[in-house]
Structure formats: C-alpha cells, structure tokens
C-alpha cells in the first residue's frame, strides 16, 4: 500500500496544474485557476498513483490540496 504525504499531494497538484509554490490552503479552482478537466486529470493521477478510487460525490468536496490529501489518507487507511 503506497504511503501518502501532504507534500507529495502538493507536488502532484503543482505538476498537474503547472503551478509553483502551491500552498496547502490554495483553492484549486479559485486560487490556482483549475478547470474541470484539470481537476479530473488531478483525480485520475492520484487514483492511479495511490491505487484508490474516488467517487464523484467525494470530488465535489475537494476544494484544496489539503482536502485531497485528507481523502487519499482516509482511503489508504481503510484499505
């Protein structure tokens, strides 16, 4: 089972969105300018890397990289 850190999630967000110095509290859409396709690609990358599945209802509750980290961590701990 792959381990996850908040820094890993921040790096994935930076790479997927082409941004530098992404902060934990940055909102993906409002602060970082992510569009729906960007969020979909971000989720797909995280799902593949951590071997998890994220439901659409869960995606709707992801606003920041911290939210994404918490969800991934929760799913890995349940696995």
Q: What parts of the chain have a pLDDT lower than 50?
A: none
Note the pTM of the prediction, 2 decimals: 0.93
Q: Are 6 and 65 in contact (CB under 8 A)?
A: yes
- Read off the pLDDT of residues 30-44 as tens digits, 9 standing for 90 and up: 999 999 999 999 999
Q: Which domains are seen in the chain, by residue range?
A: 6-78 (1.10.1200.10)
List C-alpha distances in Å: 7 to 50, 55, 58: 14, 23, 21
Residues 34, 75: Cα–Cα separation, whole Å: 24
Tell me, what's the pLDDT at 1?
A: 55
């Amino acid at each position: 089972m792959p381990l996850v850190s908040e820094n890993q999630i921040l790096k994935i967000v930076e790479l997927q969105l082409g941004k530098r110095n992404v902060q934990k509290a940055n909102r993906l859409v409002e602060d970082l300018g992510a569009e729906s396709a960007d969020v979909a690609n971000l989720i797909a990358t995280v799902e593949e890397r951590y071997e998890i599945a994220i439901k659409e209802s869960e995606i709707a509750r992801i606003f920041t990289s911290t939210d994404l980290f918490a969800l991934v961590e929760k799913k890995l701990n349940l696995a």
